[in-house]
């Protein structure tokens, strides 16, 4: 008899899902191990980054899905609402629901039990999948998700997998080993040039190098300033979901041949640094992560971030395994960094002084922003 894991993944395949992000749960470990055989599989460092990566993949025309634990919903709820829901990206979320069936870990209970109410309160539709018979309803929901650009959550009861646990027909499925040598490549040679330019001045200097590239820009003033310095239809302006710029850019880079530049901020990178590891692991040749480090949460009043004291973001990037890293502060250094003959994934650490330019709001509707970038990616 076909294992339920295979049956479920077959349903996804038949319905055109072609991109899956996962953060494993013990209950779905066998299912997670099978995903890489038939799908583009992105193992995640945090569920929230998966929301950004899947949004990027959806921009590039993929049909993304995620497999996570119920606790992971708590790690993604803002991004789910302010990115996926706000821009109307399609997403099928398969959630291993804990805390409701023979649960041995108490800490799983508060989130797992409340999950349906949390989702209802968030305005997200969901379906309980308590038996294999419930699989029959999945194709109809999937069609709805991708035709209407919706989020839908399938709550997978652990009872689904129970019949095959420890039984004769259930040879454990082994997770494929990571294919790369992840030896730390840190070298501590970086000198810290002195910042003197504001973010706006930096954007102005690099603007000619953004031509006809997909630019994913950090929320708040960075996006407003970029719109005023250089608007082009391939600019994806973030209007919320702090910490998601690099994951979105990574998702696009993994699924498109276009060159992608992420303009991120120190506060946002520090909120979701794990996405640098994901980027380093996949090493997309077409991705540049350009971090404007003003040592502050510039858009909310210049409160200092740890990048102003103890953290060197270039070393962080190196530590996560990104090989090509550059520090730049002056006009000359920034121009050289943007002209750097990119051999692959590159991290540019642009040091700036705090300060926002008094620019008007972006007059585009989020769906317009999305459409323009999608059209560019199709061209």
Ligand X SMILES: Cc1ncc(C[n+]2csc(CCOP(=O)(O)OP(=O)(O)O)c2C)c(N)n1
Cα–Cα distance, 82 to 317 (Å, whole number): 27
Provide the sign of the torsion angle of the four alpha carbons 177, 181, 187, 191, taken in this order. Answer: negative
Task: Return the residue nearest ligand X (CB atom).
Answer: 265
Q: Which is nearer to ligand X, 24 or 267 (CB)?
A: 267
Task: Give least dist CB 185 to ligand X, A.
Answer: 25
Binding segment (CB under 6 A) for ligand X, from list 99-107, 132-140, 204-212, 260-268: 260-268
Interacting residue with ligand X among 84, 223, 286, 299 (CB under 6 A): 299
> Does residue 50 contact residue 44 with C-beta atoms inside 8 Å?
yes
Interacting residue with ligand X among 6, 38, 39, 78 (CB under 6 A): 78
Q: Pick from 57, 68, 87, 53: which is nearest to 276 by CA?
A: 53
Task: Give least dist CB 107 to ligand X, A.
Answer: 23
Radius of gyration of the chain (CA): 21
Binding to ligand X, residues 326-355 (CB under 6 A): none
Instruction: Count residues near ligand X (CB under 6 A).
Output: 21
Task: Give least dist CB 334 to ligand X, A.
Answer: 16
Q: Pick from 29, 358, 82, 109: which is nearest to 238 by CA?
A: 82
Q: Which is nearer to ligand X, 295 or 321 (CB)?
A: 295
Task: Give least dist CB 41 to ligand X, A.
Answer: 27
Task: Give least dist CB 237 to ligand X, A.
Answer: 13
Q: Which is nearer to ligand X, 215 or 292 (CB)?
A: 292
Q: Helix, strand, or coil here: 118? A: helix
Task: Give least dist CB 150 to ligand X, A.
Answer: 23
Interacting residue with ligand X among 24, 267, 273, 321 (CB under 6 A): 267
Could you say whether residue 228 binds ligand X (CB under 6 A)?
no
Count CB neighbours of 86 within 10 A. Answer: 17
> Does residue 261 contact residue 290 with C-beta atoms inside 8 Å?
yes
Could you say whether residue 294 binds ligand X (CB under 6 A)?
yes
Could you say whether residue 84 binds ligand X (CB under 6 A)?
no
Q: 151 forms bridges with which residues in the sheet?
A: 91
Could you say whether residue 197 binds ligand X (CB under 6 A)?
no
Q: Helices 199-206 and 221-229: crossing angle, nearest 10°?
A: 40
132-171 footprint of ligand X as x/- string (CB under 6 A):
----------------------------------------
Task: Give least dist CB 362 to ligand X, A.
Answer: 14
Task: Give least dist CB 197 to ligand X, A.
Answer: 13
Q: Which is nearer to ligand X, 246 or 286 (CB)?
A: 246
205-224 footprint of ligand X as x/- string (CB under 6 A):
-------------xxxxx--
Query: H or E segment at 225?
Result: helix 221-229
Could you say whether residue 268 binds ligand X (CB under 6 A)?
yes
Cα–Cα distance, 294 to 304 (Å, whole number): 9
Strand order in 151-156's β-sheet? Answer: 40-43, 19-22, 64-69, 91-96, 151-156, 125-129
> Does residue 157 contact residue 135 with C-beta atoms inside 8 Å?
no
Quick one: three-class SS letters along 47-110? HHHHHHHHHHHHHCCCCEEEEEEHHHHHCCHHHHHHHHHCCCCCEEEEEECCCCCCCCCHHHHH
Task: Give least dist CB 23 to ligand X, A.
Answer: 19
Could you say whether residue 298 binds ligand X (CB under 6 A)?
yes
Binding segment (CB under 6 A) for ligand X, from list 68-76, 163-171, 247-255, 294-302: 294-302
Q: Pick from 136, 131, 127, 128: which is nearest to 162 by CA?
A: 131
Chain residues in the site for ligand X (CB under 6 A): 78, 199, 218-222, 240, 242, 265-268, 292, 294, 296-300, 305
């Amino acid at each position: 008899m076909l294992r339920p894991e295979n049956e479920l993944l077959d349903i996804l395949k038949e319905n055109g899902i072609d991109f899956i992000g996962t953060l494993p749960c013990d209950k779905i470990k066998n299912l997670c191990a099978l995903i890489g055989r038939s799908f583009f599989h992105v193992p995640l460092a945090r569920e929230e980054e998966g929301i950004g990566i899947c949004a990027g993949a959806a921009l590039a025309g993929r049909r993304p899905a995620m497999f996570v634990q119920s606790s992971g919903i708590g790690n993604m709820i803002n991004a789910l609402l302010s990115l996926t829901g706000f821009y109307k990206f399609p997403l099928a979320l398969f959630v291993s629901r804990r805390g409701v069936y023979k649960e041995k870990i108490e800490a799983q209970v508060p989130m797992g039990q409340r999950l349906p109410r949390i989702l209802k309160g968030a305005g997200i539709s969901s379906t309980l999948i308590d038996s294999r018979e419930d699989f029959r309803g999945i194709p109809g929901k999937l069609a709805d998700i991708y035709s209407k650009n919706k989020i839908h959550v399938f709550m997978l009861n652990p009872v689904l997998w129970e019949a095959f646990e420890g039984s004769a027909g259930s040879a454990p499925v082994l997770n494929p080993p990571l294919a790369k040598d992840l030896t730390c490549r840190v070298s501590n040679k970086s000198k810290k040039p002195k910042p003197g330019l504001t973010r706006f001045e930096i954007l102005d200097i690099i603007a000619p190098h953004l031509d006809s590239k997909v630019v994913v820009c950090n929320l708040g003033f960075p996006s407003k300033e970029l719109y005023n310095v250089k608007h082009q239809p391939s600019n994806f302006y973030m209007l919320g979901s702090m910490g998601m710029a690099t994951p979105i850019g990574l998702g696009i880079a993994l699924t498109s041949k276009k060159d992608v530049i992420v303009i991120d901020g120190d506060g946002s990178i520090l909120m979701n640094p794990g996405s640098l590891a994901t980027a380093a692991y996949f090493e997309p040749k077409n991705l540049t992560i350009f971090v404007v480090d003003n040592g502050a949460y510039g858009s909310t009043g210049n409160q200092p971030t740890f990048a102003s004291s103890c953290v060197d973001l270039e070393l962080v990037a190196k530590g996560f395994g990104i090989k090509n890293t550059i520090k730049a502060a002056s006009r000359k250094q920034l121009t050289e960094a943007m002209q750097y003959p990119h051999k692959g994934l590159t991290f540019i650490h642009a040091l700036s002084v705090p300060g926002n330019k008094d620019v008007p709001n972006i007059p585009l509707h989020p769906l317009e922003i999305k459409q323009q970038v999608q059209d560019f990616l199709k061209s």
